[in-house]
Structure 1
């Protein structure tokens, strides 16, 4: 089984490298935002620059998870090769595991440009231990957004999945405080901000890299979102399987 997972991961990574536009978008857009907004306005403040770097790292990772998985899973469903894989003795798990591992690899690569901008052009400071903790939080915090991508990808066609993923992605990033510190958001948005999963993920990141005390409500809601999205993604997969293989 492990060799099958490795084979699927390898060919999915090759596929990603051959069409790198998604990786470039998730990597360059947060880095450009860092250069345009964070460097001139907060680059000289170590704590704010550090927190902003963490926020935009997660922004890029979230883009990769939601957009990447929703589009790739929906496209898989439209290809004759994917139903054939499900009929093989190994079943769909090796391909699914390869897809998840590829998505995680893209997530980790997408944060590199933001880290470089933060290190070279701001006063952001971080120890190796906090950097490791931040990357660990990134991997853990991205889980609900990967589940969201799987949910959208298993429910919709590729064209519809792209549109819906964008509609979900940007509002959540804004309301969760990834593009602007939560305390600077309009008052009515501050009220709902702790209840979106992006806020909980941001709180974890800020705590890991800048010792910022996390909002308990946001963390509880992040856990709740993870459970709900996990159940919804599993339902969407079974629904699609029942429709096409009943």
Structure 2
């Protein structure tokens, strides 16, 4: 019931969905497609589509979840929902599920542009496995979005999300391939969740075994972000309802 209500609430403001769906696809259309050295190379084009698919999911997760939670905390409806006899995990999991659905919707334009305007190629099994891995690697972004929403008011949350979004994207190799990074930046990016997501999805699509640092990094960010969200939720609850 919580998931259904959250989806309906978002769908009543279509521009909130259109913005997160258009921006990643426009990035692919304006920065990758005109560069024929990349767009006509099946390997580079596929990696570019994967990178911007990760970016699309990340943007939707951070903005939709972070801003929604921050804004809801400033509305009188939120205290009523908190008074219901439900554990925090129910509300948090509902918000994560609803945002996940919107995040994958934002990836569809990227895949369409990649399919029709570049030489990107993928097998059916690679596409299916890539989507599964992308769903799993999106969990840290969802949790980080929730953490921002519980930690900051809405006006501050916008700034934090924007800085985090572009910081993760650039340092994680979503806008510029990591193989062209200097050594120090390549080493730093291995600690960024966007880099873990990018490399794990590429490995899934290519059918190759991922490196241990990718798996360890994604798991560490997931566990740390989950613990942070629960702590911030309880801190917010203690401050507002004691």
TM-score, length-scaled by structure 1: 0.91
What pairs with 1:87-98 in structure 2 (closer than 5 Å)? 87-90=83-86, 94-98=90-94
The structure-2 alpha-carbon separation of the partners of 1:38 and 1:12, relative to structure 1 and needing over 3 Å to count, comes to: same
Check if 1:132 corresponds to 2:107.
no
Query: Alpha carbon RMSD of aligned pairs, Å?
Result: 1.6
The structure-2 alpha-carbon separation of the partners of 1:38 and 1:213, relative to structure 1 and needing over 3 Å to count, comes to: farther
Does the 8 Å CA contact 2:200/2:214 hold for their aligned counterparts?
A: no
Q: State the match for 2:40 in structure 1.
A: 44
Report the more deviating stretch, 57-66 or 85-94.
85-94
Does the 8 Å CA contact 1:74/1:158 hold for their aligned counterparts?
A: yes
Match of 1:121 among 117, 121, 141: 117
State the Cα deviation string for residues 148-169 of structure 1 (Å, max 9, x = none). 0111111110111111111111
State the Cα deviation string for residues 58-93 of structure 1 (Å, max 9, x = none). 100000111211100111111111111121234555
- Matched residue SS, 1:40: coil
Shift of 1:134: 1.1
Does the 8 Å CA contact 1:50/1:210 hold for their aligned counterparts?
A: no
Q: State the match for 2:141 in structure 1.
A: 145
- Matched residue SS, 2:2: helix
State the Cα deviation string for residues 109-131 of structure 1 (Å, max 9, x = none). 00000000011111111111111
Check if 1:34 corresponds to 2:28.
yes
- Matched residue SS, 1:177: coil
Does the 8 Å CA contact 1:154/1:240 hold for their aligned counterparts?
A: yes
Does the 8 Å CA contact 2:126/2:207 hold for their aligned counterparts?
A: no
Match of 1:17 among 11, 21, 25: 11
- Matched residue SS, 1:145: helix
Q: State the match for 1:110 in structure 2.
A: 106
Gaps of 5+ in 2: none
Q: State the match for 1:184 in structure 2.
A: 180
Q: Distance in 1 between matches of 2:137 and 2:19?
A: 20
Match of 2:216 among 213, 220, 226: 220
| Count, aligned residues | 240
Q: Distance in 2 between matches of 1:9 and 1:16?
A: 11
Q: Distance in 2 between matches of 1:91 and 1:161?
A: 25
The structure-2 alpha-carbon separation of the partners of 1:95 and 1:191, relative to structure 1 and needing over 3 Å to count, comes to: closer
Q: Distance in 1 between matches of 2:201 and 2:131?
A: 9
The structure-2 alpha-carbon separation of the partners of 1:123 and 1:21, relative to structure 1 and needing over 3 Å to count, comes to: same
Shift of 1:177: 0.4
Does the 8 Å CA contact 1:28/1:113 hold for their aligned counterparts?
A: yes
The structure-2 alpha-carbon separation of the partners of 1:166 and 1:192, relative to structure 1 and needing over 3 Å to count, comes to: same
